[in-house]
Amino acid sequence: MLADLRQAGSLKCLFPRRSGPGLESVLVNTAGGVTGGDSFSCRADAATGCTLTVTTQAAERAYRATAQDVGTIRNELTAQPGSRLNWLPQETILFDACALRRTTHIDLNGDAQLLYCEPVVFGRLAMGESVRTGQFYDRVEIRRDGRLLYLDAIRLDADIQAQLDRPFVANGARAMACVVYAAHDAETHLEPLREMLPDTAGATLLEPDLLVMRLLAADGFVLRQTLIPVLNRIHRSDLPRCWMI
Q: What is the pLDDT of residue 8?
A: 86
Task: Say how far apart CA 199 and CA 75 lie, in whole Å.
Answer: 31
Distance of CA 194 to CAs 30, 117, 168, 186, 198, Å? Answer: 38, 17, 21, 13, 8
End-to-end CA distance of the chain: 26
What percent of the chain is modeled with pLDDT above 70? 99
* Residues 6 or more apart in contact with residue 170 via CB below 8 angstroms: 163, 164, 176, 216
| pLDDT 10s digits, 144-195 | 999 999 999 999 998 999 999 999 999 999 999 999 999 999 999 999 999 9
Q: How many CA atoms lie within 13 A of 114 on its CB side?
A: 28
pLDDT (tens digit per residue) in 23-47: 999 999 998 899 988 999 999 999 9
Count the residues in the chain. 245
Distance of CA 148 to the CA centre of its chain: 19
Task: Tell me which residue of 83, 95, 94 sits closest to 52, measured CA to CA.
Answer: 83
The pLDDT score that the predictor gives to residue 18 is 74
Mean pLDDT of the chain: 93
CA atoms within 13 A on the CB side of 48: 2
Domain boundaries, the chain: 32-238
Question: What tens digit of pLDDT does each residue of 41-64 get?
Answer: 999 999 999 999 999 999 999 999
Q: What letter does residue 64 receive in the DSSP assignment?
A: B
